Amino acid sequence: MTNKDILRSVIMQQKNLLQHTEETIKRELLDEILKWFGDNRILILTGLRRSGKSTLLKQIMQHKSRYCYANFEDERFIDFRAQDFEQLNEVLIETYGNPAIYFFDEIQNIKNFETFVRRLQDQGKKIVITGSNASLLSKELGTRLTGRYKAFEVYPFSFSEYLKFRKAEPDKTWFYDTGKKVKLVKFFENFITDGGMPEYLKNKDIEYIKTVYENIIYKDIITRYAIRRERLVRELVNIFITNITAQFTYNSLKKTLGLANAITVKEYTTYLGNSYLFFELQKLELSVKKQLIAPKKIYVADTAFSHILSASFLENKGRVLENIVFIELKRKNKEVYYYADKNECDFMVKSGKKVTEALQVCYNLDETNKKREMAGLLEAMEKFNLKEGLILTQEQNDEIKIKGRKIKIVPVFKWLLENR
């Protein structure tokens, strides 16, 4: 049991730290989250470690009153147990008055926290919590709080947020002014390698990204899931980080890793997904069974990881662009797949049962790849009766009409900014 005096000390220090917040970039997700404060459900912010969840939490606080706050990442909570929550609540009331809103940072560190959260909700309190693991939704909250929460996934900075961080906020005239466009292209080239991890962008310390990566692998995966074969996890991560956007099957990875069965590979890949470090993309199939056995594609949460940790980063410019497009589609909560039959198309977006968008990504569309890229996009468009398709490139801007269909060729940076 945690001593009440220790709890008082921790909560008071954390409260004092809230008063010394530095200027931050307003997250695009903020306004959407604020809309849900009239709803009685618990609000959950999940996402990659160090992607800005805590900062977003503090930005929400700036718009609210009568709240309290506890950050469970503090090492002084190491002996904290579920039975200590009532003591903590007493301390929070002593420190903040009678709070109507409870902000809990990284609360998934405390086993069985959801029982306390539910009790607070039953008392009419508004609760906002953060967590760095997707299983926070499927396991801890999914069983006891079904239908009682609204979840938001927090990603590293978008390109638009990155520009704000760099003190550049272009409008649409930048696309047509040569000098401004050159500047915008340069910003995007930097974004490709810098990524959007907020703290890393402040000082560009490579060791910071390596430390975040190590914490994810060790704390969020190896320790959390009590994995004994650490070497296998690291080998799998190395395969993924050097082969972003590539297709894979659990069986092929099983052979590469020298395992007897593919179940372990599937489990480890799921854990990596739960940590938000990597994402699997499924093939678009009408049959669920076919979809399950079809090859997947793999994407990393932020290009800073692949830039710093992968020796092949500079060789894969097209793949890096594709990764950026995928993360943006995820950021917008799109239901996305890849298409493959005679030819391939990078992304198909579904809304309900209907396919609504087809997107192809390549670094530069030229005579060596134009036929292949167009064939994959057109086949997908014809299959799902789409009148318009999109090819996203580094800088090209054009429009092609072929077989009664329209294909727009747009720079990725323009697509990212126009779709805010």
Q: What is the pLDDT of residue 147?
A: 74
Q: What is the pLDDT of residue 136?
A: 63
With a CB cutoff of 8 Å and minimum separation 6, the contacts of 410 are: 390, 391, 392, 393, 396, 397
Nearest to 69 by CA among 26, 34, 29, 106: 106
How far is 132 from 236, CA to CA, in rounded Å? 20
Reduce the DSSP state of residue 105 to 3 states and report it.
strand
Structure tokens at 245: 């956007």
How far is 345 from 388, CA to CA, in rounded Å? 14
pTM: 0.95
Reduce the DSSP state of residue 253 to 3 states and report it.
helix
Strand order in the sheet with 398-402: 335-340, 344-351, 354-361, 388-393, 405-411, 398-402
Q: What is the pLDDT of residue 420?
A: 67
User: Which element (helix H / strand E) includes 57?
Assistant: helix 53-61
Are 155 and 301 contacting, i.e. CB atoms less than 8 angstroms apart? yes
Domains and CATH numbers, the chain: 4-154 (3.40.50.300), 318-420 (3.40.1350)
Q: What is the 3-state secondary structure (H, E, C) of 127-183?
A: EEEEECCCHHHHHHHHHHCCCCEEEEEECCCCHHHHHHHCCCCCCHHHHCCHHHHHH
Structure tokens at 137: 């939704």
Q: Would you put residue 324 in left (φ > 0), alpha (ψ -120 to 50) or beta?
A: alpha
Nearest to 213 by CA among 194, 237, 230: 237
Question: How far is residue 390 from each of residues 9, 46, 322, 355, 387, measured CA to CA in Å?
Answer: 56, 30, 13, 14, 11
Maximum alpha-carbon separation in the chain: 74
Are 320 and 306 contacting, i.e. CB atoms less than 8 angstroms apart? yes
Are 69 and 105 contacting, i.e. CB atoms less than 8 angstroms apart? yes
Nearest to 23 by CA among 47, 51, 58: 58
Q: Do the strands 388-393 and 278-281 form a parallel or antiparallel pair, or are they unpaired? A: unpaired
Structure tokens at 396: 């090209």
How far is 175 from 182, CA to CA, in rounded Å? 9
Q: What is the pLDDT of residue 135?
A: 66
pLDDT tens, residue order, the chain (420 aa): 678 999 999 999 999 999 877 889 999 999 999 999 999 999 999 999 999 999 999 999 999 999 999 999 999 998 899 999 999 999 999 999 999 999 999 888 888 898 899 999 999 999 999 988 776 655 556 566 767 889 999 999 999 999 999 999 888 888 888 899 999 999 999 999 999 999 999 999 999 999 999 999 999 999 989 999 999 999 999 999 999 999 999 999 999 999 999 999 999 999 999 999 999 999 999 888 899 899 999 999 999 999 999 877 767 899 999 999 999 999 999 999 999 999 999 999 999 999 999 999 999 999 999 999 999 999 999 999 999 999 999 999 999 999 899 999 999 999 999 976
First-to-final CA distance of the chain: 48
